[in-house]
């Protein structure tokens, strides 16, 4: 009987929902709050293309908003772990790692660091933990997004 149950589970593709592979390919948007024709909160865009089951190409842009419009931008090929995480380390000496956790409808941005004042080498307050909503499942163009910068 135990052999039959084991065979049944294998044949039926039994899996835990946490182990399901998520193809992160698409575009994710964070819309900022607009007041008096100015974006006064964080806004940004993440474009992702799955290259292999364990590797993604990412272009990333996050703007802090008014008054300084400081921003972060990078284009890189990142490891894709545990079927839904991409990891970015700003520099080899950085004690910070930026984690992007993907679901079918969003990308959650998180920071892991030992010194919260470091700002992950991006400047204080520019990088925040937040959610980007998936706006498209289409394969995006991977390119430098720093031209998205809003000038005051």
Q: Domain boundaries in the chain?
A: 16-145
- Reported residue count of the chain is 152
Mean pLDDT by 10 residues, the chain (152 residues): 35 49 97 93 96 96 92 94 89 86 96 75 83 97 81 46
Fold of 16-145: Lipocalin (2.40.128)
The whole-angstrom separation of Cα 74 and Cα 143 is 9
pTM of the prediction? 0.82
The whole-angstrom separation of Cα 76 and Cα 111 is 17
The whole-angstrom separation of Cα 68 and Cα 74 is 19
**Any residues with CB less than 8 A from the CB of 146 and at least 6 apart, and which?**
61, 71, 73
Report pLDDT for 22. Answer: 95
């Amino acid at each position: 009987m135990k052999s039959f149950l084991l065979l049944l589970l294998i044949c039926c593709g039994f899996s835990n929902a946490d182990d399901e592979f998520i193809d992160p390919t698409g575009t994710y948007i964070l819309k900022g709050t607009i007041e008096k024709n100015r974006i006064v909160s964080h806004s940004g865009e993440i474009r992702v293309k799955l290259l292999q089951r364990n590797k993604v190409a990412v272009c990333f842009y996050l703007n802090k908003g008014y008054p300084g419009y400081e921003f972060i931008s990078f284009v890189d090929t990142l490891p894709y772990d545990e079927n839904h995480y991409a990891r970015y380390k700003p520099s080899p000496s950085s004690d910070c790692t930026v984690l992007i956790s993907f679901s079918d409808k969003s990308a959650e941005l998180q920071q892991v660091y030992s010194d919260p004042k470091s700002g992950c080498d991006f400047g204080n307050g520019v990088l925040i933990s937040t959610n980007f909503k998936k706006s498209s499942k289409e394969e995006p163009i991977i390119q430098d997004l720093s031209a998205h910068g809003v000038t005051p």
